[in-house]
């Protein structure tokens, strides 16, 4: 039962409601992904205007979260969904919470990029974030693809990359600490860059959460707080 057949209900109206919820989650995902990408570009390129626009666009993500939440509540109250329909609604409610938090992290990137945009010494430090940024940006995109396609294998592949993110974050932390020792005058800016690294690492975590919900949606199995080896044993 890997395909959820969302369009197969006897009630056409129910099909439409679920379809609309799903479409809105995908738009919200697209919007959040755009915010993260722009936030990252603003940070790496020192683009103040772009950073400004990212930090001021989060309201769109928040509005979608509220809207989708409301529609899910309506479906729960009026349709009393069961089985895969119930799992879809529960999954959506959780996915949009993580998406909204990713939106907050992106907003943070935008805000810090404005503060860090002066063409001074920090330019070279900012660029240290490129690798981590690209890694989590990929993870987010693939997590959203896995959700759109309800693809368990893809979801597990994304979840497997969380270790890479954590390693990259740790080494970045050490690197930034070294810079701090070498150049104590930049302390406040280096702290901001550390905060950006932290935001990116959190985006990776939220992407992994989304992938865990995809597995729950398709397989009906809750894999949160389960060791990765155990999960792979079960699903491979």
Partner 1 sequence: MIHSMSTTTISDILTPPVHPTGLNGEEQMDTAFDDIKGTVGTQTVDDPKMSAHGVDVFYGDKQAIFDVSLDIGNNEVIAMIGPSGCGKSTFLRCLNRMNDTIPTCRVSGSMSLDGQDLYDPSLDPVLLRARVGMVFQKPNPFAKSIYDNVAYGPRIHGLAGNRAELDDIVTESLKRAGLFDEVKDRLDSPGTGLSGGQQQRLCIARTIAVSPEVILMDEPCSALDPIATARIEELIDELRQNYAIAIVTHSMQQAARVSQRTAYFHLGKLVEVDDTNSVFTNPQHELTENYITGRFG
Contacting residues toward partner 1, per CB under 8 A: 1, 5-12, 14-16, 19, 23, 80-87, 148-149, 220-221
174 vs 221 by CB, closer to partner 1: 221
**CA atoms of 53 and 236, how far apart (whole Å):** 43
Measured from the CB of residue 12, what is the shortest distance to partner 1 in angstroms?
6
130 vs 224 by CB, closer to partner 1: 224
Q: Which of 123, 128, 152 is nearest to 200 (CA)?
A: 128
Measured from the CB of residue 176, what is the shortest distance to partner 1 in angstroms?
41
**CA atoms of 103 and 37, how far apart (whole Å):** 11
Measured from the CB of residue 77, what is the shortest distance to partner 1 in angstroms?
12
162 vs 212 by CB, closer to partner 1: 212
Measured from the CB of residue 25, what is the shortest distance to partner 1 in angstroms?
12
Measured from the CB of residue 79, what is the shortest distance to partner 1 in angstroms?
8
Residue position matching structure tokens 């070279």? 124
Query: Rg of the chain over CA atoms, in angstroms?
Result: 19
125 vs 216 by CB, closer to partner 1: 216
- What separation in angstroms does the CA of 10 have from each of 17, 71, 84? 13, 20, 15
Residues with Cβ within 8 Å of 116's Cβ and at least 6 positions away in sequence, in order, are 43, 46, 122, 126, 189, 192, 193
81 vs 204 by CB, closer to partner 1: 81
Residue position matching structure tokens 């398709």? 218
């Amino acid at each position: 039962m890997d395909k959820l057949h969302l369009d197969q209900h006897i009630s056409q109206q129910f099909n439409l409601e679920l379809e609309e919820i799903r479409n809105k989650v995908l738009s919200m995902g697209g919007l959040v992904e755009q915010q993260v990408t722009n936030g990252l570009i603003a940070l790496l390129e020192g683009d103040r205007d772009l950073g400004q626009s990212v930090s001021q666009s989060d309201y769109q993500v928040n509005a979608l979260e509220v809207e989708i939440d409301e529609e899910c509540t309506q479906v729960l109250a009026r349709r009393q969904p069961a089985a895969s329909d119930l799992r879809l609604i529960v999954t959506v409610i959780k996915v949009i919470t993580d998406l909204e938090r990713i939106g907050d992290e992106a907003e943070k990137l935008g805000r810090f990029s404005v503060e860090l945009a002066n063409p001074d010494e920090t330019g070279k430090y900012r660029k240290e974030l490129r690798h981590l940024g690209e890694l989590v940006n990929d993870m987010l995109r693939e997590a959203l693809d896995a959700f759109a396609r309800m693809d368990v294998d893809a979801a597990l592949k994304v979840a497997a990359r969380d270790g890479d993110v954590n390693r990259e974050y740790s080494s970045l932390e050490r690197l930034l600490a070294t810079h701090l020792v070498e150049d104590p005058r930049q302390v406040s800016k280096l702290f901001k860059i550390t905060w950006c690294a932290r935001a990116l690492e959190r985006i990776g975590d939220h992407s992994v959460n989304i992938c865990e919900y995809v597995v729950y949606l398709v397989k009906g199995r809750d894999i949160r707080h389960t060791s990765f080896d155990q999960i792979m044993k079960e699903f491979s």
